[in-house]
């Protein structure tokens, strides 16, 4: 039996019988999915120090407790409504926002919500083996925090599907548990969510770059005229921040340790010989996850994006900071490749909305990479990490099928084949990383050799706190 105690919420769940019935039907399937596809080996005999959102105010979503993962209280929260909120962009600019789904936009909205929803369980599936390769109890706890919150984000989208899309919504909610990351017959919708996340460098790069796509997409959905979608995604953004913290500080700690090992080993030594992760391997993983996450923003020229904008379904990140919210005539200068050469052409800005969001995303990523480079600087190591050009390694949009090096120079197919091992992780790199992670570190306060400890613990606990307890 579902209760407000079990499902913390601010949507008056207990008085919404229809939603209760729908969730009562869906919840057991979700729990079965969590057992089958969630963190492997950490379901029954471990208690994890996690944060559970119990309300939307700052105290309410910073509630920490030890829980067994399947007993986590996945809640349903919408950010507080903004009084007299109006449509902020597109052809319907200035009219009141919608509390129900307009019939003419039903399919488009459903598609956006399903695409968003699909990424959440996908990421849990991708990360399900990492607990058995973890560098410390602190990191193990952070992994599970990210996992339970992605689970909650799935609940958030399922809440919208059940509440506003009737029978179709219920069917879609079931299918969200049926597709599986990497499954040949029933894959997840977006490509990056079918890639394996085998090791912790993948995980930290994923939470840095792919979760940041989550941030940019959620920011643009939070502008939506469908008020419940806007409010749901606004609250999700508060949780997304921690995921990016895990990614950014995870890579920073690896870099820190790499620098120390380089210093100890004499700078010319190969850091792999002393069990560290060398900077070229870090750069290759950065290239991989950044380019996959660029693809997640869709094609450069997209009539879908134009229509989402015109209809007020999906805006730009921080729409209020733009002057022109109708964007009827404005154009965007886009770099096309014609006969192997770059040619700049104007396209209608509405058709380039994916690119506008990608610009925001690239700026946000680049600030993060600058912060990483400060670590190299402090250790007086002259190399720098860098974002590859946005044409590099693309599989979606107008650069797909062409080849570019990380500087964005066109390269022929044979050169790409010959040199891609310089730019992207190879099976040899993966095997090396897996060998480093073969022995998980479960001892309090201990860290694997390839990563530095964090500056501080979680929720003011010490670094050697027992963040994950094993039951006898
Ligand atoms: N992979 O017009 P186009 C997150 C398809 S991450 C495969 O260019 P559109 C999270 C597209 O579906 C954020 N297929 O694209 C992070 C279309 O198919 P059809 C997730 C792709 O529609 C970490 C065709 O290509 N949220 O939250 O403008 C952990 C032409 O498409 C891909 C969202 O994505 C791809 N990468 O934009 C956990 C927000 N890209 O129509 C969670 C909702 C495109 O030919 N989604 N295609 O069959 C959207 O806003 C849009 O669907 C997209 C694509 C931005 C993804």
Distance 44 CA to ligand 1 centre (A): 35
Q: List pLDDT tens digits, range 201-233.
A: 999 999 999 999 999 999 999 999 999 999 999
The answer to whether the beta carbons of residues 300 and 354 sit under 8 Å apart is: yes
Distance 254 CA to ligand 1 centre (A): 31
State how far the Cα of 411 lies from the Cα of 337, in Å rounded to an integer.
13
Which of 212, 206, 233 lies closest to 222, judged by CA? Answer: 233
Confidence of residue 288 (pLDDT cuts 50, 70, 90): very high
Which pLDDT value is given to residue 2?
66
pLDDT greater than 90 at residue 115: yes
Q: List pLDDT tens digits, range 417-440.
A: 999 999 999 999 999 999 999 999
Give 458's DSSP letter.
Answer: G
Distance 167 CA to ligand 1 centre (A): 24
State how far the Cα of 257 lies from the Cα of 340, in Å rounded to an integer.
42
Confidence of residue 386 (pLDDT cuts 50, 70, 90): very high
Residue whose CA lies nearest to ligand 1 atom number 10: 214
Ligand 1: which of 105, 143, 295, 304 to mutate, most ligand atoms within 8 Å of CB?
304
pLDDT greater than 80 at residue 109: yes
Distance 263 CA to ligand 1 centre (A): 43
State residue 470 phi and psi, 5-degree precision.
Answer: -100, 130
Residue whose CA lies nearest to ligand 1 atom number 39: 116
pLDDT greater than 70 at residue 351: yes
Rg (CA), the chain: 23
The proportion of the chain whose per-residue pLDDT surpasses 70, expressed as a percent, equals 99
Q: Which atom of ligand 1 is nearest to the CA of 300?
A: 8
Contacts of residue 217, Cβ cutoff 8 Å, sequence gap at least 6: 116, 296, 297, 357
Confidence of residue 324 (pLDDT cuts 50, 70, 90): very high
Which pLDDT value is given to residue 36?
97
Four-residue CA torsion sign, 422, 425, 431, 436? positive
Residue whose CA lies nearest to ligand 1 atom number 37: 298
Q: How far is CA 181 from CA 41, 70, 266, 454, in A?
A: 19, 20, 42, 31
Q: List pLDDT tens digits, range 18-61.
A: 999 899 899 999 999 999 999 999 999 999 999 988 888 877 77
Which pLDDT value is given to residue 472?
72
The answer to whether the beta carbons of residues 287 and 406 sit under 8 Å apart is: yes
Average pLDDT value for residue range 268-295: 94
Which pLDDT value is given to residue 256?
98
Tell me the two tokens of residue 138: 């602190």
Q: List pLDDT tens digits, range 228-247.
A: 999 999 999 988 999 999 99
Helices (H), 407-468: 413-423, 427-437
Which pLDDT value is given to residue 1?
62
Distance 297 CA to ligand 1 centre (A): 6
Distance 112 CA to ligand 1 centre (A): 8
Residue whose CA lies nearest to ligand 1 atom number 40: 298
Residue whose CA lies nearest to ligand 1 atom number 49: 112
Tell me the two tokens of residue 223: 């502008």
The answer to whether the beta carbons of residues 268 and 245 sit under 8 Å apart is: no
Q: List pLDDT tens digits, range 163-194.
A: 999 999 999 999 999 999 999 999 999 999 99
As a whole number, the mean pLDDT across the chain is: 95
Which pLDDT value is given to residue 121?
98
pLDDT greater than 90 at residue 200: yes
Q: Which atom of ligand 1 is nearest to the CA of 299?
A: 8
Which of 173, 171, 167, 217 lies closest to 192, judged by CA? Answer: 217
Ligand 1: which of 152, 190, 195, 210 to mutate, most ligand atoms within 8 Å of CB?
190
Distance 300 CA to ligand 1 centre (A): 12
Distance 23 CA to ligand 1 centre (A): 27
pLDDT greater than 80 at residue 268: no
State how far the Cα of 357 lies from the Cα of 384, in Å rounded to an integer.
26
Confidence of residue 406 (pLDDT cuts 50, 70, 90): very high
Average pLDDT value for residue range 144-167: 97
Q: How far is CA 250 from CA 5, 354, 371, in A?
A: 34, 29, 13
Residue whose CA lies nearest to ligand 1 atom number 44: 298
Distance 357 CA to ligand 1 centre (A): 12
Q: Which residues line ligand 1 (CB under 6 A)?
A: 112, 115-116, 119-120, 123, 150, 190-191, 210-211, 213-214, 217, 295-299, 302, 304-305, 314, 354, 396
φ/ψ bin of 267: left (φ > 0), alpha (ψ from -120 to 50), beta (otherwise): alpha
Distance 91 CA to ligand 1 centre (A): 23
Q: How many CB atoms lie within 10 A of CB 452?
A: 17
Which pLDDT value is given to residue 471?
86
pLDDT greater than 90 at residue 454: yes
Which pLDDT value is given to residue 57?
80
Residue whose CA lies nearest to ligand 1 atom number 8: 299
């Amino acid at each position: 039996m579902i209760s407000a105690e079990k499902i913390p919420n601010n949507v008056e769940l207990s008085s919404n019988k229809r939603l209760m019935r729908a969730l009562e039907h869906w919840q057991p399937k979700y729990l079965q999915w969590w057992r089958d596809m969630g963190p492997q080996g950490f379901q029954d005999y471990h208690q994890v120090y996690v944060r559970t959102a119990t309300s939307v105010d700052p105290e309410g979503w910073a509630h920490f407790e030890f829980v067994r993962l399947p007993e986590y209280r996945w809640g349903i929260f919408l950010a507080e409504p903004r009084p007299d909120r109006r449509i902020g962009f597109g052809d319907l600019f200035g009219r009141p926002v919608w509390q129900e789904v307009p019939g003419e936009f039903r399919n488009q909205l459903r598609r956006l919500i399903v695409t968003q929803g699909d990424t959440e369980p996908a990421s849990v599936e991708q990360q399900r083996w990492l607990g058995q390769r973890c560098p410390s109890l602190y990191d193990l706890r952070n992994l599970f925090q990210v996992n339970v919150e992605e689970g909650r984000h799935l609940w958030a989208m399922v809440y919208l599907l059940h509440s506003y899309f009737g029978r179709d919504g219920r069917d879609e909610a079931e299918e969200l548990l049926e597709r599986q990351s990497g499954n040949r017959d029933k894959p997840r919708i977006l490509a990056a969510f079918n890639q394996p996340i085998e090791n912790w460098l993948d995980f930290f790069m994923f939470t840095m770059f792919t979760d940041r796509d989550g941030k940019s997409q959620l920011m643009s959905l939070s502008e939506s005229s469908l008020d419940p979608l806007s409010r749901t995604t606004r609250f999700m953004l508060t949780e997304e921040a921690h995921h990016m913290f895990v990614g950014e500080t995870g890579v920073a700690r690896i870099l820190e340790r790499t620098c120390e090992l380089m210093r100890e080993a004499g700078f010319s030594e190969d850091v792999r010989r002393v069990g560290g992760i060398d900077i070229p391997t870090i750069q290759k993983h950065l290239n991989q996850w950044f380019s996959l996450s660029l693809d997640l923003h869709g094609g450069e020229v997209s009539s879908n994006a134009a229509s989402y904008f015109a209809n007020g379904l999906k805006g730009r990140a921080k729409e209020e900071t733009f002057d022109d919210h109708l964007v009827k005539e404005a154009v965007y200068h886009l770099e096309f490749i014609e006969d192997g050469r770059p040619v700049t052409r104007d396209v209608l800005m509405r058709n380039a909305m994916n690119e506008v969001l990608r610009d925001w995303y690239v700026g946000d990523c680049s600030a993060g990479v600058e912060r990483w480079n400060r670590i190299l600087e402090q250790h007086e190591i002259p190399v720098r990490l860098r974002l590859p050009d946005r044409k590099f390694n693309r599989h979606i949009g107008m650069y797909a099928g062409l080849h570019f090096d990380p500087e964005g120079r066109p390269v022929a197919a044979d050169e790409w084949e010959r040199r891609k091992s310089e730019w992207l992780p190879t099976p040899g790199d993966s095997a090396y990383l897996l060998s480093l992670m073969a022995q998980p570190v479960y001892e309090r306060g201990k860290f694997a050799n390839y990563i530095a400890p964090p500056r501080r613990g979680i929720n003011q606990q010490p670094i050697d706190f027992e963040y994950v307890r094993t039951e006898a």
